[in-house]
């Protein structure tokens, strides 16, 4: 028996693996009880019906993604989506909730998806029908509840970032049964006002906005008639409804969706903010340039000061005086006398060099004459004058020895050169 036993940890781990893999995605309908929030931001509750109950938890991150948590109370019926999680230290399991909504919202969600699909098929969401939002709007109409936090957030961003944008509040009911008609009437009134106004008073952009809330709170912005009014509106419309995770039909059909009212204000004032930043940069650049120019001008002015000019003149005067003292003959007699001696010695060296060169040239001329006489005496003409002669071929080749003579052809013509001319002869070889 001992060999077949398992540790508690092994059993709990096995159960944990089986339960969490088998019940990974559940949708549970039940009534809330024992609802509490820990100091760490986690919510704990019990879901029950007439026969059973299950513990459940909504961890902090999921609670932030489900703002409806702040409005729930014991006794509310909710639909929870999530999976089973096992807490090994106690051996207990609970539903780990990822999404939660009040019972009945499922029908609204289904209705929302149905309307969204219908309007998309009719082309209300097509990007080619979207109008561009002006980068520098001068007049903006904000359709929302005048006392709402959303409008106050919009105003705060506008006052901090805008430099030339007029706001016009068009009050409307943004929640409840009367809200869809109120929003439509406010939009129609804004369009009529802009069309009838002079050009400088016309509306450049309309912002349709309200703060976050539950699906029921935002349902007015899912009205089909309102969607068509937005689609047919000649003025560009920004929809800024709810929070980042909230989507409404007005978001899809508007020309641009912003996540929050503050984001809409930032979008409309973005170019103005860049202009302010550019002006700031230009101002700083201008100030730096002015300081640099003033510094250079100040330096030029300081250098043009009469005292500076006098100092410069005195410096030049001292330099010239120093140079003048350097050429004073009276104080340089000894130096100049030495220079005269050197000049006389240089003239003497010149005369001696001239005589030396002439002597060398005469000696060279004598040697050249001797070489010329020697070459003349040894020249061929002088040898011929002494009774000698030489033989050459008709081609002008000199026959200097018997070997060359034997190479000549028999009876070929040869020339005999004398001192006073040439004679012809023939080669006769022994036979």
pLDDT tens for each residue of 111-127? 888 899 999 999 999 99
pLDDT at 106 over 70: no
Q: What tokens appear for 2 in the block?
A: 């001992």
What pTM does this model have? 0.47
pLDDT at 65 over 80: yes
Superfamily of domain 136-268: Response regulator (3.40.50.2300)
Task: Mean pLDDT check: name the lowest of 69-83, 132-146, 383-397.
Answer: 383-397
Adjacent-strand bridge partners of 92: 87
Task: Mean pLDDT check: name the lowest of 131-135, 248-252, 275-279, 337-341.
Answer: 337-341
Contact in structure between 385 and 370 (CB atoms under 8 Å):
no
pLDDT at 1 over 80: no
Q: Which residue in 61, 64, 66 sits closest to 80, CA to CA?
A: 66
Q: What's the mean pLDDT when you consider all of the chain? A: 85
Coil, strand, or helix at residue 332?
A: helix
* Main-chain phi, psi angles of 101, to 5 degrees: -150, 150
Task: Mean pLDDT check: name the lowest of 3-12, 21-30, 61-70, 382-391.
Answer: 382-391
Q: How far, in Å, are 413, 417, 422, 431 from residue 391 at the CA level?
A: 11, 6, 9, 22
Please report, rounded to a whole number, the percentage of residues in the chain having pLDDT higher than 90: 30
pLDDT at 97 over 70: yes
Contact in structure between 243 and 67 (CB atoms under 8 Å):
yes
Q: Measure the CA–CA gap between 28 and 79, rounded to whole angstroms.
A: 6
Q: Return the residue matching tokens 């060279």.
A: 364
Q: Quickly state the pLDDT bin for 109 (edges 50, 70, 90).
A: confident
pLDDT at 66 over 60: yes
Of 424 and 387, the one with more pLDDT: 424
Q: What tokens appear for 127 in the block?
A: 């990007």
Residues of the chain with CATH 2.40.50.140: 7-103
Tens-digit pLDDT profile for residues 252-274: 999 999 988 888 888 888 888 78
Per-range mean pLDDT, top range of 189-193, 269-273, 341-345, 416-420: 189-193
Contact in structure between 1 and 45 (CB atoms under 8 Å):
no
When pLDDT is averaged across residues 292-306 and rounded to a whole number, the result is 82
Residues of the chain with CATH 3.40.50.2300: 136-268
pLDDT of residue 203: 93
Task: Mean pLDDT check: name the lowest of 23-32, 254-263, 303-312.
Answer: 303-312
Q: Measure the CA–CA gap between 67 and 366, rounded to whole angstroms.
A: 130
Half-sphere exposure of 269 (CA within 13 A, CB side): 23
Dihedral sign from CA coordinates of 6, 11, 13, 18:
positive
Q: Quickly state the pLDDT bin for 2 (edges 50, 70, 90).
A: low
Half-sphere exposure of 94 (CA within 13 A, CB side): 18
Tens-digit pLDDT profile for residues 188-241: 999 999 999 999 899 999 999 988 777 778 889 999 999 999 999 999 999 998
Can you state the angle between helices 224-232 and 105-121, rounded to 10 degrees? 30
Q: What tokens appear for 124 in the block?
A: 């209300």
Q: Measure the CA–CA gap between 68 and 232, rounded to whole angstroms.
A: 34
pLDDT at 327 over 80: no
Q: Return the residue matching tokens 């957030």.
A: 153
pLDDT at 17 over 70: yes
**Yes or no: is domain 7-103 CATH 2.40.50.140?**
yes
* End-to-end C-alpha distance for the chain, whole angstroms: 149
Q: What tokens appear for 28 in the block?
A: 């549970």
> DSSP per residue over 157-211, as a string?
HHHHH-SS-EEEEEE---SSTTHHHHHHHHHHHHHHHHHHS-GGGS-SEEEEEE-
pLDDT of residue 403: 84
Strand order of the β-sheet with 139-144 is 166-171, 139-144, 205-210, 237-241, 256-257
Q: Quickly state the pLDDT bin for 173 (edges 50, 70, 90).
A: very high
Locate the DSSP E strands across 192-324.
205-210, 237-241, 256-257
Buried b (16+ CB within 10 A) or exposed e, 200-227: eeebbbbbbbbbbbbbebbbbbbbeebb
């Amino acid at each position: 028996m001992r060999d077949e036993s398992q540790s508690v940890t092994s059993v709990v781990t096995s159960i944990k693996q089986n339960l969490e893999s088998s019940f990974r995605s559940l949708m549970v309908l039940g009534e809330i009880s024992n609802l509490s929030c820990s100091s760490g931001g986690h919510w704990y509750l019990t879901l029950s019906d007439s026969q059973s109950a299950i513990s459940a938890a909504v961890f902090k991150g999921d609670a932030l993604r489900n703002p409806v948590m702040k409005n729930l109370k014991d006794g509310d019926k909710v639909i929870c989506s999530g999976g089973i999680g096992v807490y090994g230290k106690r051996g207990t399991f609970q539903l780990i909730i990822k999404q939660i909504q009040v019972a009945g919202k499922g029908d609204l969600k289904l209705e929302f998806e149905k309307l969204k699909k219908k309007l998309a098929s009719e082309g209300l969401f097509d990007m080619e029908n979207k109008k561009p939002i002006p980068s520098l709007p001068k007049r903006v109409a904000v359709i929302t509840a005048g006392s709402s936090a959303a409008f106050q957030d919009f105003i705060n961003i506008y006052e901090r970032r805008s430099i030339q944008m007029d706001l016009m509040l068009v009050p409307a009911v943004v929640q409840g049964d009367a809200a869809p008609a109120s929003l439509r009437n406010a939009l129609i009134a804004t369009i009529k006002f802009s069309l009838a106004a002079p050009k400088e008073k016309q509306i450049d952009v309309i912002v349709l906005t309200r703060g976050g809330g539950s699906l029921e709170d935002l349902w007015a912005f899912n009205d089909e008639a309102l969607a068509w009014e937005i689609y047919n509106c000649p003025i560009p419309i920004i929809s800024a409804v709810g929070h980042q995770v909230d989507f409404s039909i007005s978001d899809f059909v508007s020309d641009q969706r912003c996540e929050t009212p503050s984001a809409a204000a930032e979008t409309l004032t973005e170019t103005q903010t860049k202009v302010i930043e550019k002006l700031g940069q230009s101002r700083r650049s201008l100030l730096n340039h002015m300081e640099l120019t003033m510094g250079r001008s100040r330096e030029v002015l300081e250098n043009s000061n009469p005292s500076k000019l006098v100092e410069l003149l005195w410096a030049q005067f001292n330099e010239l005086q120093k140079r003048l003292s350097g050429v004073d003959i009276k104080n340089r007699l000894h130096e100049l006398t030495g220079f005269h001696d050197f000049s006389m010695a240089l003239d003497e060296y010149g005369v001696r060099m001239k005589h030396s060169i002439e002597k060398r040239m005469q000696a060279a001329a004598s040697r050249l004459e001797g070489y010329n006489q020697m070459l003349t005496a040894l020249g061929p003409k002088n040898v011929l004058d002494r009774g000698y002669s030489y033989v050459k071929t008709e081609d002008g080749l000199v026959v200097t020895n018997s070997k060359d003579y034997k190479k000549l052809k028999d009876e070929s013509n040869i020339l005999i050169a004398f001192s006073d001319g040439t004679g012809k002869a023939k080669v006769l070889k022994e036979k």
